[in-house]
Structure 1
Amino acid sequence: MINFHKIFHPEKFNLLLYYTITSFVAIAGMSLVVGWIFPRMESKELVNRSEKYAHQFISHLNYEIYKDFLLPTLQSDKRIDLENNKNQLKKLDRIVRENLYGLRIKKLYLYDFEGHIIYSTIPEHIGFTLDRGINKNLDSAIRGKPASVLRLAGTIDSKGMDVVETLLESYYPFYDMEMEGRKKKQIGVLEIYQDMSDLKRQITKVREKAIIMTGSAMGILFFALFLIVFKAARIINMKTLQLIDSRNSLEQKVEERTFEIREAYKELQLTQRKLIQNEKLASIGTLTAGLAHEINNPLASIASCAEGLIERLKITPGYTERKNPAEKAALEVFPEYLKIICDETYRCKTIISNLLNFSRHSAPAFERIDVNQVVHDTLSVGQYQKRDHKIQLHLSPEACEVIGDPQQLKQVFLNLLINSLHATEESGGGILISTIKKPTVMQVVFQDAGVGIKREHLDKIFDPFFTTKATGKGTGLGLAICYGIIDVHNGRIEAFSEGPGTGATFTITLPLSIGEG
C-alpha cells in the first residue's frame, strides 16, 4: 500500500531503503517467473521428444509384428485368434519383448476397434475393455490420429491402475503394412507407456539453473544501480534539508490563514442567515412596528370605552322602559353591539401582538433540555385546548437531549398543537405526537387526521401572512415564527400532506447535544 504521508514528507522517505526493498522484490519475482516458465518449456520439449520417439518406435514395432507375426501366422493358420490360440499369443509376446528389451517402455497394449485389449505385456489385462467415448485418446487413435497424455506419479491411468512413477501414455494406430502394391490398412491401436521418471529431475535442474542465472544477472544490475542511487540519495537528502525549514514556515502560515478563513466563513454564514431573515421582514419590519404602536393606543381606548359602557348598562336597569317600541328596540341592541366592539378590538390587539413578535428579534437562552419533557410541559399548558380531541403520545423511551431555548420550543410545539386541534375540529380525528431518537438527531412529529393541506400550498406554508384558515381565523404568522425559531436552533421543520381530507404531518428535526447518540 502506498504511503502518501511519506511521499509528501520527503524527509521521511528513505530512497536507499525503498530501492533495496523494491529491487529484492523484483529479483525474487523475476526469478520465480523465469523459474516457472523455463521448466514448463523444458517439460514441453521433453514430452515432444518422447512423443517423436514413441512414433518411431511404434512404426518399427508395427513393421516387426507384421513381418514376423501377422504375415507368417496368416499364411500358416489362415486367421489370427490370440484369445484361443496360445501359440499365437506366445509368439506375439516373444516378438514384442525382443523389441522392447533395453528400452524405457514399461507397458504395451494392443486394442481392436471395439476397445478390447487383445494383447498386453501384462497378461492379466488381456480381455479388458475400455468403453468408447470415455478414453478420448484411444478414440482419437482408433480414428487414425495419435494422442498422448502425461501421467504423473500418484495419479491413476486409463486402466484404473496407480501410477508409481511418471509415465507418458501414447496411443498410435496399428496397421496392416503395405505389401505388393497394397496400401496399409489400420487394424487396431497400439498403446505404450514410456518411463518419464527423469522428467521431474530434469525440470528441477532447469528451474535451479534459471533461478541462479536470473538472480545473478539481477544481482549484478542491482549493485550497479545501487551506486548510482546512493549518490542520488545524498544529493536529495541535502536538498530536502534545505526545503524543510521553508516548508515548516509555510505550513504554519497556511494553518493560520486556514483558521482565519474558517472564522470568516462562519461569520459569512451567520450574516447570510440574518440577511435572509431581514429580506423576509424588509417589507413589514419598520412599518409593522410603527403601525402596531400607533394602532395599539386607539384600540386600547376603544376597548376601554366599550367595556365602560357595558358596565354602565349593567348598573342602569330599566333604561328601556317608558320608551316607544321603536326606541326600545334600538336600545336593546346596545349590549350586543358593545360586546362585538370589545371582541373585535381584542382580536385586532392579538394580531398586532403577533406582528410585533414576528418582527422582534429576541436572543434565545440556550441550555441542555430534554425534548420529551418540553412536549409534556406544552401539553400541560395547552390542556384546555384538548376538549374532545383524542391526543396520543408516542415518546422515545430514551432521553432526547438538545441544546435549545425551552420557552421558544414550547411556543413552536403549542402553535403546532393548536393548528392540529383546529384542523380536526370538524372531522373529530385524532392527533399523534411522537419523538424519535436517531444517531445524531432527534425528531418531533405532529400528525393529525384533519382537513389536510393542498400540495400547491406546501411550499408556501411557512411564508409570513400565508394561511389556509378561513378569513378571520388566522394571521399566517404562526408557522413563520416556528420556522425562524427552529432555524435558530440549527434544525429544520417540514410539512407533508397528501391533499385535502388526508391530514397533515409536521416534522421537526433538531441536532442532539454533544454526548448524545
Structure 2
Amino acid sequence: MKDQELVDRLCAFNILSDIPRQQIEWIVERGKLTAFKAGDQIFKRGDSVDRLFIMVDGAVSLKMAVNGQYREMARISTGEISGALPYSRVQSATGNAFALVDSKVFYLSKTFFKDLICECHELTELLVHLMTDRVRDFSRFQHQSEKLMALGKLSAGLAHELNNPAAAIVRSAESLQKHLGTVPDKLKRVISMEVTNRQIDFVNELVFGKLARGIDKAEPMLSRAKREDDLTDWLEANGYGDCYMLAETLADYGFLDQDLDRVKEEIGEKEFPSVLVWIDNVLTTEKMVGEIKDASNRISTLVNSVKNYSHMDRSSDFEPTDVHEGLRVTLTILNHKIKKNRVEVIEHWAEELPKLAASPGELNQVWTNVIDNALDAMEENGGTLRLSTEVVGEFIVVKISDTGKGIPKEIQDRIFEPFFTTKDVGKGTGLGLETVQQIMDKHNGRIKLESKPGLTTFEFCIPIHHQ
C-alpha cells in the first residue's frame, strides 16, 4: 500500500476523521505498515510497549492468563488505536495478542512522540483522550475482575462449608428413617412388659436426666473411649455382646456401667432386655434428631453470616457498626480456606468494644482482603492467624497478624499502589490493598504495617466518631 493510499485509509476512519490530513501524513512518513497472517502473534506478555499501532485491516485478540486459563480481555478491530500513547507510563504488555484474520497494522515508534506532541496538536489531544479512556476502562475491568475473583473464592468456600452440614442432614435423616422402621417390633416388646409405675419413673428419670445434660462435646476423647470400653465389657458380660452400637450411644450420653447395674437391679432380669431396647431407641432417636438440628443450625449460621457480611439489606451509609461481628462473620466466610491451609486462629477481643460510625459492608471488605492475603501467605506451611481489638482513646485499633513468609521490605511501600501485586498471574489483580486504603481513607483511619519472615501485622486505627 502506497503512502498516499495509507493516508487516505487512515483519514477515512471515524476516530481520525477530524484530524488534519497533514498530521496523518506526518505519522505515515515516520511509521511502518506490517502485515500479519491469521494466527500470528503480534506481541507477547512482557514485551516492551514502545510503539503506537493502528489497525488498518483485520482484528487482533488480546488474551491474558486468569486462573490458569487464557481469556480474551479485548479485541482491537479495524480503525482502532492501541499500543503506546503519549504520556502513557505503560512499560510492558500485560497479555498476548494474536491476529484473528489476515491483518495489517500501522506502527509509529514512541521515539517520535516528543516531535508528535510539538507538531501534531489535534492528533496528540486525541491520543491523550484515548489514553484516559483506556485507563478508566482498564481500571473498571480490573476492579470487576477483583470482585469476581473474590466472589469466586467466597462462593467456593461457602459451597464447601454448606455441603458438609447438608450431607450430615441427609445422612442422619436416612439413618433415622431406617431406625424408625424397627419401632413396631420394639413397641411390642415394650407393651408386653410387666413393670410398675415406680419402675417406669426410675427409668424415665435416669434416661431423660441424661438427655437433658446432652452430649458433652468438650469431653476428652480418652475419657469417653474408656467409658465406652467399660460399657462394652458390661454388655458382653451380661449377654448383650451383639449390641456393640449401643455402647457407643450410651457413652455419648454419659451412661456408666454402674447405671446399667442400677436399671437391671430395679427392673429385674426378665424385663431388663426390653427396657434396654427402649433406652437404645430413645437415645438413638434423640442423637439423630440432634445431629439434624446441629447441621441445620450450621446452615442457618452460614446464611446469616453471608447476609451480615454483605449487609445486603442495608445501605452503604455510615451507621453504628460492631467490629467484632464483622471480623467473626469474615472468619466464617473464609473458614474453608482456614481449614484447607491448616491455620490456627487466635482471637483477643476487647471487652465492651464500642460501636463505631462506619459502613459495615466496606469494613468487611477490609477484613476480607487482609485476612485472605494472610491465609495465602500461610498456604504452603500453615501457621497462626491472630486477631485483636482494643480501644485507644477515641479510636478502635484492630490488629491482624500472620506467621507467613512476610512482605519484603523493599516493596512494603508499594503494596497499596493500584495494580501492584506479588501474586502469580491470575491469582491477584493488585487492587485488594488499594481498596483497603481507599476504604480506610473514607473512614479517616490509618494503616500501619510491620513485616518480616514469620510475622506480618496490619494495624488499623479507626476513629469511633466519624467526622
TM value normalised by structure 2: 0.33
Specify the structure having the higher radius of gyration (Cα). Answer: 1
The structure, 1 or 2, with the larger RCO (C-alpha pairs under 8 Å, 6+ apart) is 2
TM value normalised by structure 1: 0.30
